[in-house]
Amino acid sequence: MKIGYVQTNPKRGKREQNLESALALLADVEADVLVLPELFSTGYLFADREELSKVAEPTDESPTIEWMKKVAADKGCVVCGGFPELDRDNNRIYNSAVIVSFVGPLVHYRKLHLFDQEKELFDAGEMPPKAANIGLGVAGIIICFDWIFPETMRMLALDDAQVVLHPSNLILPHCQQAMITRCIENRLFAVTANRVGSEELNEKKLTFTGHSQIVAPDGTVLKQAGAEGEEVGVVEIDPNQASDKMVTENNHLLKDRRVDVYESLLYTDKERQGRL
């Protein structure tokens, strides 16, 4: 499997321009799987939910998904990227990402862990991340700040994922290093597609850290982008390496878990206090 990140610098609210810029980056790229950043077609900062609602896209009428389908068809690959999803039936807006082939979405995920002021704009996803066979391997999605919660990637490992696709708009300094640990503790490949540049709105300014990367199940960084500038990085991997969960001859990463003593992980803070 040839898998790659697409590190972009989207402009806030400029969907058509952002899609054209991303397409230009892909002109000479050959890959089986391409991963773009979180909210790569719309930009990240929004004044309020009303402004966000004007660019949010229903999955069945999404210009971003249609663009991804066309790229997938033209290049004979699958494409992953993030977009603001409008759920008209329930009046909700999600920070979502999809893995798309030429026929449409193969995997659809709504961000579980909303970062900072995202909580004022988006609704949090309700369903766990799921993995699916995308042709040459089994893949699932996490989005940006999900990285700081180890349970997110562990759920994908338990769902037989081999590759985790990680569209991101990172501003904190630790994610790229932490994803090395996430890959080791789950023995999975991960592709973090981050963005670069900055966005300003009113008195708020965010600067994104770049350094998109591809990490192997043993923690090796196979490819990493710079901190600035748009670029694409592609490597060839064997997804089956992620199916080997043996840490030693006597230790299986998943079978050796002590679920018999992990019960307290399921308690809320209030429930935990009641047991003290």
Q: What is the Cα–Cα distance from 212 to 233, expressed in whole angstroms? A: 8
Q: What is the Cα–Cα distance from 102 to 104, expressed in whole angstroms? A: 6
Number of H helices, E strands in the chain: 6, 16
What pLDDT sits at residue 131?
Answer: 97
What pLDDT sits at residue 267?
Answer: 81
Contact 114, 143 (CB under 8 A): no
What pLDDT sits at residue 274?
Answer: 65
What pLDDT sits at residue 8?
Answer: 98
What pLDDT sits at residue 275?
Answer: 62
What pLDDT sits at residue 164?
Answer: 98
What pLDDT sits at residue 265?
Answer: 86
Q: What is the Cα–Cα distance from 78 to 106, expressed in whole angstroms? A: 9
Sign of CA dihedral 121, 126, 131, 133: negative
Q: What is the Cα–Cα distance from 183 to 204, expressed in whole angstroms? A: 33
Q: What is the pLDDT along the chain (276 residues), one digit of tens a residue?
A: 999 999 999 999 999 999 999 999 999 999 999 999 999 999 999 999 999 999 999 999 999 999 999 999 999 999 999 999 999 999 999 999 999 999 999 999 999 999 999 999 999 999 999 999 999 999 999 999 999 999 999 999 999 999 999 999 999 999 999 999 999 999 999 999 999 999 999 889 999 999 999 999 999 999 999 999 999 999 999 999 999 999 999 999 999 999 999 988 888 777 766 665
- The two tokens of residue 223 are 């490819």
| CA proximity to 143, closest of 160, 159, 125 | 125
**Catalytic residue positions?**
38, 111, 144
Task: Please tell me the pTM assigned to this model.
Answer: 0.95
What pLDDT sits at residue 273?
Answer: 64
What is the domain class of 2-243 according to CATH? alpha beta
Q: How many CB atoms lie within 10 A of CB 7?
A: 30
What pLDDT sits at residue 268?
Answer: 78
